[in-house]
Amino acid sequence: MRSAPTILHLDMDAFFAAVEQASKPSLRGKPVVVGGLGPRGVVATASYEARVHGVHSAMAMAHARRLCPNAAYLIPRFGLYRQVSDVVMGLLGELSPLVEPLSLDEAFVDLEAGGIGDDPRGVAEKLRADIKAATGLTASVGLAASKLIAKIASEEAKPDGLVVVEPGTERELLDPMPVRTLPGVGPATAEHLRRAGIGTIVEVRHMGEAELVRLLGKAHGASLHAMASGLDDRPVVAERESKSISVEDTFDVDLTDRIRVRTELDRLADRCVKRLRDAGRSGRTVVIKVRRYDFSTLTRSETLQGPTDDPVVVRETAGRLIEAVDTTGGVRLLGVGVAGLADFTQEDLFAQAAGSALADEPADGAEPVVVREEPAAPARRWMPGQDVRHTEYGAGWVQGSGVGRVTVRFEEPASLVPGRVRTFAVEDPELEPSDPLPLV
């Protein structure tokens, strides 16, 4: 363990929603929810004004609307989020060569490797001020001697705060916290511990490593006891490009029911897509991992026509893959991943087919006759939060649309007051989609 709190964990506050509020003056200080707006959509991020109503990430969007009907519900704009993330990561790169991004809005930094470990608190305060000046957004920071404690400290610092945990004081922070605070403690492990009378981290530590190993297995039990003691020697690893994003779960009791296997696979697919979207990525290849009752492990994969971050597509593809796997003996572990990552999503995998060539069978020796159908021009679709530009009114964003009309608020990030609202026909030739304006 280090002798100074030189590992920094930064987490931008309600990042996607905060970017939307910064770019849309009319939404500042108001509840904002970003995510999928379809019938199966889920919340990606909710502003703190929405969180007080119980809205949180990974919640079904339909449930969020019932909890907070007056919020602004917007589609995500990953291109803009990545631009802002690049600015933040650039500032972190000025502090140290060892920056480990976890997503668009979260990263570890090794200050010691940057030669600036003498005043970590001062460095963190300046970093937060620099991020605010460069993006207009707030960030929470944790400082500690390990990655584990730094991440927990940044969570305690939210929103817009700084928590420093001096080496030797880790247990004071950890002891009263619930066991779910520790990485790797999901609902199943937490329930296992609850049945053993364990609810807080101090109780985990007092239980002892041997008893935890007996209860949870060697690897998980030993790891949990070390974390509950505040021990973590993982280094900060410099940025490297992710080749895939995946999630997996090990089950306390082998799954033998096919319906339960499919239900768990659907749940894992949704979690995987959330991580994919949090990273602003999409992917072409869906992969499942199955560890059976006899510890044999196999993977199956299917490559799609184009990148996707649609949970329905990932669920259905994973479902097809599991159908080819014999699970009658029982399943110990399931995993779902997406590989072949890209920075964009092909929204409709079948759109390419709309104008594809249709060929009749040629006569012997004749050239094939290709007939191309001109597809009818689709009706223009405007989504809440989408950037637009009007030839007369300038830049704005879609507030809503329906029954042949689209309502647009015309304002820019630098505006001090909310912009004016205008309504147009959805086919108005003077209204066009546009790229987002920079925040500052």
Q: Which CATH number fits the domain that encloses residue 329? A: 3.30.1490.100
Same domain, 201 and 309: no
Confidence of residue 344 (pLDDT cuts 50, 70, 90): low
Same domain, 59 and 198: no
Using CA atoms, how far apart are residues 289 and 307, in angstroms rounded to an integer? 20
Confidence of residue 350 (pLDDT cuts 50, 70, 90): very low
| Amino acid (one-letter) located at 15 | F
Average pLDDT score over residue span 252-272: 91
Residue 97: phi and psi, rounded to 5, are -75, -15
More confident residue, 331 or 379: 331
What local confidence, expressed as pLDDT, does residue 361 receive? Answer: 38
Q: Is 236 a domain residue? A: no
Residue 253 CB neighbour total at 10 angstroms? 8
Look up residue 136 and give its DSSP letter: S
Q: Is 13 a domain residue? A: yes
Q: Is 39 a domain residue? A: yes
Q: Catalytic: 361?
A: no
* Of the residues 167, 191, 211, the one at which a domain ends: 167
**Residue 377 above 80 pLDDT?**
no
Q: Is the dihedral of CA 169, 173, 176, 182 positive or negative?
A: negative
In the predicted model, what is the mean pLDDT of the chain? 88
394-402 vs 405-410, strand pairing mode: antiparallel
Same domain, 53 and 160: yes
More confident residue, 369 or 140: 140
Same domain, 144 and 202: no
Under 8 Å between Cβ of 245 and 341: yes
Average pLDDT score over residue span 283-298: 90
Same domain, 265 and 223: no
Residue 282: phi and psi, rounded to 5, are -140, 170
Same domain, 212 and 330: no
Residue 97 CB neighbour total at 10 angstroms? 13
* Of the residues 342, 368, 401, the one at which a domain ends: 342
Closest to 80 in 3D by CA, of 137, 124, 38, 125: 137
Domain range for 322 is 244-342
CATH of the domain at 208: 1.10.150.20
pLDDT digits (tens, 9 = 90+) for 45-68: 999 999 999 999 889 999 999 999
What local confidence, expressed as pLDDT, does residue 378 receive? Answer: 52
Q: Is 358 a domain residue? A: no
Same domain, 133 and 207: no
pLDDT digits (tens, 9 = 90+) for 109-134: 999 998 887 899 999 999 999 999 99
**How would you class 361 by CB atoms within 10 Å of its CB: exposed for 0-12, middle for 13-18, buried for 19 or more?**
exposed
Using CA atoms, how far apart are residues 279 and 138, in angstroms rounded to an integer? 19
Using CA atoms, how far apart are residues 94 and 289, in angstroms rounded to an integer? 39
**Residue 357 above 50 pLDDT?**
no
What is the end-to-end Cα distance of the chain in Å, rounded? 40
Q: How far is CA 301 from the centre of its chain?
A: 22
**Residue 223 above 80 pLDDT?**
yes
Confidence of residue 219 (pLDDT cuts 50, 70, 90): confident
| Amino acid (one-letter) located at 234 | R
Greatest distance between any 2 Cα atoms in the chain: 85
Residue 293: phi and psi, rounded to 5, are -55, -30
Under 8 Å between Cβ of 359 and 369: yes
Confidence of residue 103 (pLDDT cuts 50, 70, 90): confident
Q: Is 190 a domain residue? A: yes
Confidence (pTM) = 0.72
Residue 339, classed as helix, strand or coil, is: strand
Confidence of residue 2 (pLDDT cuts 50, 70, 90): confident
32-35 vs 72-74, strand pairing mode: parallel
Q: How many domains does the chain have?
A: 4
Rounded to 5 degrees, what angle do the CA atoms 160, 166, 171 make?
95
Residue 55, classed as helix, strand or coil, is: coil
Least confident of 180-194, 313-327, 337-351: 337-351
| Torsion from C-alpha of 378, 399, 314, 350, nearest 10 degrees | 10
Q: Is the dihedral of CA 342, 46, 382, 316 positive or negative?
A: positive
Q: Is 53 a domain residue? A: yes
**Residue 416 above 90 pLDDT?**
no
Using CA atoms, how far apart are residues 2 and 146, in angstroms rounded to an integer? 8
Check residue 311 and give left, alpha or beta (phi > 0: left; psi -120 to 50: alpha).
alpha
Closest to 230 in 3D by CA, of 177, 142, 169, 158: 169
* 106, 112, 170, 411: the active-site residue: 106
What local confidence, expressed as pLDDT, does residue 293 receive? Answer: 85
Same domain, 195 and 282: no
Question: In DSSP terms, which residues pair with 143 in a beta bridge?
Answer: 8, 164
What local confidence, expressed as pLDDT, does residue 253 receive? Answer: 85
**Residue 381 above 80 pLDDT?**
yes
CATH of the domain at 124: 3.30.70.270
Look up residue 368 and give its DSSP letter: P
Same domain, 202 and 70: no
